Amino acid sequence: MKTIKNILLLAVVVITATAFTLKSDSGYQIGDKIEDFKLKNVDGDFLSLSDYDDAKGYIIIFTCNTCPYSVANEDRIIALNDKYEDEGYPVIAINPNNPEAVADESFEKMKVRSEEKNFNFPYLLDEGQKVYPKFGATKTPHVFIVTKNDMKVKYIGAIDNSSRNPDAVTEKYVEDAVDALLAGKTVEKTETRAIGCSIKV
C-alpha cells in the first residue's frame, strides 16, 4: 500500500511539473532581440514577421491541435486577434510539435483544425522544430509578445490566469501587456507561468 501511495505521489509531481513551468533559460529573455523566421502557413504560403508592413508588434503563440490546454484557449486566441490585429498586434500561431511523434499534429491536421475553428490568424508549422527552441518555448500554449521597431521580447507566459476555464479568468496577461504597449507604457507583468502540454519532440 505504501508503495502504491509513493507511486501515485510521484505521478502527481510529474504531471504537475509537466503542466506548470516557467520559460526555459535557453531561449529568449525579456528584452532580447529575436530573429525573424519563415514558416509554412496552413494556406500553403510561407510567412515571416517582416511580411507585416503595418504591424507595431506581434503576439506569437506556440500552440497545437491536440493539447487540452491549447484547445481550451483557441477561442481566446481568436478573440485576441479580433481585438488587436487592426491595432497593430496580430496573432501568429506556431505549432512546435513533431508530427512524427504525434500524428494528429501533422500539417494536414493543422489545416483541418484551422478550418473547423475558423482561425482568423496564421497557423504555422515549425517544420524541423527550429524556431521554438530559439524562443525557449516549453509548453502549448506559450505566448511571446514582441515589438516590431526593435524586435524585442516584452512579455513571456500565459494568455491569462485560467488555463482551462475562460469563465474563471480574472487577469488577462496578454491583453494587459498589449494595452500597455499601445499606450506607450511599460509592461508591468512581463513574465507569467506557462501552463500546458510539453512540446513533443
Distance CA 62, CA 123 (A): 10
Where does the pLDDT of residue 26 fall: very low under 50, low under 70, confident under 90, or very high at 90 and above? confident
Q: Are 20 and 193 in contact (CB under 8 A)?
A: yes
Where does the pLDDT of residue 25 fall: very low under 50, low under 70, confident under 90, or very high at 90 and above? low
Has residue 39 been placed in a domain?
Answer: yes
**What 3-state DSSP class applies to 79?**
helix
pLDDT of residue 4 exceeding 50: no
First-to-last CA distance in the chain?
36
pTM for the model stands at: 0.88
**What 3-state DSSP class applies to 95?**
strand
Q: What is the 3-state secondary structure (H, E, C) of 108-157?
A: HHHHHHHHHHCCCCCEEECCCCCCHHHHCCCEECEEEEEECCCCEEEEEE
Where does the pLDDT of residue 196 fall: very low under 50, low under 70, confident under 90, or very high at 90 and above? very high
Has residue 3 been placed in a domain?
Answer: no
Distance CA 154, CA 178 (A): 9
What's the pLDDT score for residue 111?
Answer: 98
pLDDT of residue 61 exceeding 60: yes
For the residues of 165-195, what is the DSSP string, one character each?
Answer: -GGG----HHHHHHHHHHTT---S--B--EE
Has residue 143 been placed in a domain?
Answer: yes
What's the pLDDT score for residue 51?
Answer: 98
Distance CA 5, CA 22 (A): 28
57-62 and 46-48 strand pairing: unpaired
Distance CA 109, CA 99 (A): 10
Has residue 73 been placed in a domain?
Answer: yes
Chain segment 33-59, per-residue pLDDT in tens: 999 999 999 999 999 999 999 999 999
Has residue 13 been placed in a domain?
Answer: no
pLDDT of residue 9 exceeding 90: no
Domain membership of residue 86 as a residue range: 32-198
123-125 and 139-140 strand pairing: unpaired
Could you tell me the CA-to-CA distances from 63 to 87, 89, 109, 126, 181 in Å, in that order? 23, 18, 13, 11, 23
On the CB side of 95, how many CA atoms lie within 13 Å of its CA?
A: 30
Chain segment 66-101, per-residue pLDDT in tens: 999 999 999 999 999 999 999 999 999 999 999 999
What's the pLDDT score for residue 57?
Answer: 98
Give every CB contact of residue 2 below 8 A, 6+ residues apart in sequence: none
Domain count, the chain: 1
Q: Are 90 and 77 in contact (CB under 8 A)?
A: no
Has residue 11 been placed in a domain?
Answer: no
Where does the pLDDT of residue 19 fall: very low under 50, low under 70, confident under 90, or very high at 90 and above? low
Residue 146 belongs to a domain with what CATH number? Answer: 3.40.30.10
Chain segment 107-162, per-residue pLDDT in tens: 999 999 999 999 999 999 999 999 999 999 999 999 999 999 999 999 999 999 99
What's the pLDDT score for residue 67?
Answer: 98
What's the pLDDT score for residue 14?
Answer: 37
Has residue 4 been placed in a domain?
Answer: no
Among 21-35, 85-99, 164-178, whose mean pLDDT is lowest? 21-35
